[in-house]
Amino acid sequence: MKKIVSLLCALVLCCAMMPVSGAFAAEEEVAVYNWFDYMDPEVFDLFEQETGIHVVPYYFTTNEEMIVQVQYNPGAYDLVFPSDYIVEKMVRLGMLAEINYDNIPNLVNIDENLLNPDYDPENKYSVPFMWGTLGILYNVTMVEEEVDSWSILWNEKYANRIYMLDSIRDTMGIALKYLGYSMNSTDLFELREASDLLIAQKPIVKAYYVDETKEKMAAGEAALALMWSGDALFAMELNEDLDYVVPQEGSNIWVDPMVIPATAKNKENAEKLINFLCRPDIAQRNCEYIWYSSPNKAAIEAMGEDYTENLTINPSQDIIDRCEFFHDIPEDEFEDFNDEWERVKDAR
């Protein structure tokens, strides 16, 4: 009996020590953590066919949800798509790996104006994927007056026909902007004014959504929605009664780059995927699927007037000039911001 046991033990040990090889080798993969609806689904298939690297996709809805997941699941993600101000935060917290640009020759296609940005001054950690604005998506058959001010989102005539974004920086941001303050304010009195304004608006808001809004607006379920430019254009492609505007008081302009967490297990595969996504035909394919603004010069050239003549995807300098970028607000200063947003969420 003893002999059988020790033989079995030896066998188990032997198996455990055997090098993983041949058919047992782990498949090459890259774990991608992206926004919902932010990539043509066929793009990952094409990448897999060309490289043999299997893409494992994960999805998030807001930056704030995403960064917590990356912090608490080290090694889970190889490529992530945070917005500019969250890149700033991730750099500050030492959460990102430096990108090896030898692996990204397609960087030449990216517009120089979007390189070396404030959120990553030497472009050590990030490559732009898409950019856009925050504005109002509205149904021209349901709204009588000209839409050019945030004030319309407080007009009781549209009670129960307004969607707001369930996203702290966006919704608090436009309330701050409507009041004439910076979207990056940390002043408690300004934040309190903004949250009071949103609480006063709450009875006429139909719902706070993020990803659902585009389909619901396309289906004519509301008159006005706070929305990002690409999701707005996605809905406008489905329903010709929809239009999009960046209000006169100003708004947010943003860039969503691609970054590699410092804990990534497949860094080189992530770089291969970044390079693939910077290829002009792939960037064009994505742009024509999700309708956000592209940083890819070659893709824009290929899209021609369909792209350049469209003010939603290619905003004028005038629109850009009245927008500001969000910036990272360090945790201790962000407490008031959070508390005021919680007041809004908890209000009836």
Give residues in contact with ligand N2P (CB under 6 A).
Answer: 35-38, 83, 211, 228, 231, 254, 256
| Minimum distance, C-beta of residue 235 to ligand N2P, in the bound complex (Å) | 12
Distance of CA 69 to the CA centre of its chain: 15
| Minimum distance, C-beta of residue 83 to ligand N2P, in the bound complex (Å) | 5
The pairing of strands 126-139 and 224-228 is antiparallel
Q: Which is nearer to ligand N2P, 54 or 117 (CB)?
A: 117
Q: Which is nearer to ligand N2P, 163 or 228 (CB)?
A: 228
Q: Which is nearer to ligand N2P, 81 or 158 (CB)?
A: 81
| Minimum distance, C-beta of residue 114 to ligand N2P, in the bound complex (Å) | 15
| Minimum distance, C-beta of residue 231 to ligand N2P, in the bound complex (Å) | 6
9's tokens = 């033990």
134's tokens = 């925050």
| Minimum distance, C-beta of residue 299 to ligand N2P, in the bound complex (Å) | 18
Q: Which is nearer to ligand N2P, 178 or 326 (CB)?
A: 326
Q: Which is nearer to ligand N2P, 85 or 276 (CB)?
A: 85
| Minimum distance, C-beta of residue 207 to ligand N2P, in the bound complex (Å) | 17
Query: Cα(151)–Cα(226) distance, rounded to whole angstroms?
Result: 12
Query: Cα(43)–Cα(59) distance, rounded to whole angstroms?
Result: 16
Contact predicate 222/161, CB 8 Å: yes
Question: How far from 330 is each of 57, 89, 194, CA to CA, in Å?
Answer: 29, 8, 20
Q: Which is nearer to ligand N2P, 83 or 266 (CB)?
A: 83
Residue nearest to ligand N2P (CB): 35
Query: Cα(156)–Cα(42) distance, rounded to whole angstroms?
Result: 43
Contact predicate 109/283, CB 8 Å: yes
Rg of the chain (C-alpha set): 23
Q: Which residues of 65-87 are buried (b: 16+ CB within 10 A; e: fewer)?
A: ebbeebeeeeebbbbbbbbbbbb
